[in-house]
A and B are shown apart, each in its own frame.
Chain A
C-alpha cells in the first residue's frame, strides 16, 4: 500500500467553481501535513501546511481528519491560475516527507 494516495483526477472545473479533493495516508504516526502545488514541468512549491484544527489561506481551505487518516483541500472561486497538480505531503519523522502522486486540477474559462 502506498504511504500517500491521491485521486489523480483530472478535475475539470469552470472559473468561479469550488473544487475539493482528498488524500489518504497509511502511517498513523504521521505528524505533519502539507499541500504543495506543482505546475507542469516545474518544481513543487509549498501551498500550505495543514493543521489539526483546519486552516484557510485565502480561497484555499485544508482539513485534517486523523481518525480516518485523510487530508482535504478545497479551492473556492477557482481561477485559471489555479490549474496545477496538487501534491499531498505527509511527514512521520524529522527528516522524511512522503509525497502523493498528485491531483490535477484544470480550471476552464
Chain B
C-alpha cells in the first residue's frame, strides 16, 4: 500500500530536550510538508521541501529544524528553543511543482510536554 507514515503516534518531551518526528512516504512524491495543528486553529506550515536536499521555512519555523536527504523521508526536529511544542504534527506530501496542489497527509504525531 502506498502512503505516508509518521512515527511515533504519541511523543513526550521533557524540558530542554530535542525530539525528532519521523515522516516517510512511498508515493514517489517530490514535495513534503510539516504542519502543526492547535485546537481551534487551522494547520500552520512549519517547513516544506520541494525536492531532495532543499527545504524552506514556512510560517512558524522558529524552534524547528528539518532535513531532506532522501526523497522518501522528511524528519522534523522540535528543539528546546520551541517554547510551546504541545500540538498535533502532520506531515504531508504532494506530487511536485506544476502538479495539482492536493496534499496527502500522514496520520500525525501528538507531542506532549512533560
Contacts and interface: CB of A to CB of B under 8 A. Distances in A.
Contacts of B16: none
Contacts of B41: 101
B105 A44 contact: yes
Given A95-B31, A95-B48, A46 B102 contact: yes
Contacts of A34: 101-102
A42 B6 CA distance: 12
A43 B105 contact: yes
Interface residues of B, number: 25
Contacts, number: 51
Nearest to B59: A96
B101 A32 contact: yes
Nearest to B6: A43
Given A95-B48, A95-B97, A100 B42 contact: yes
9 contacts: A42-B108, A43-B107, A44-B105, A45-B105, A94-B97, A95-B48, A97-B103, A98-B42, A101-B42
Interface of A: 2, 4, 8, 32, 34, 41-46, 49, 87, 91, 94-102
Interface of B: 31, 35, 40-45, 48, 50, 56, 58, 88, 90, 97-98, 100-108
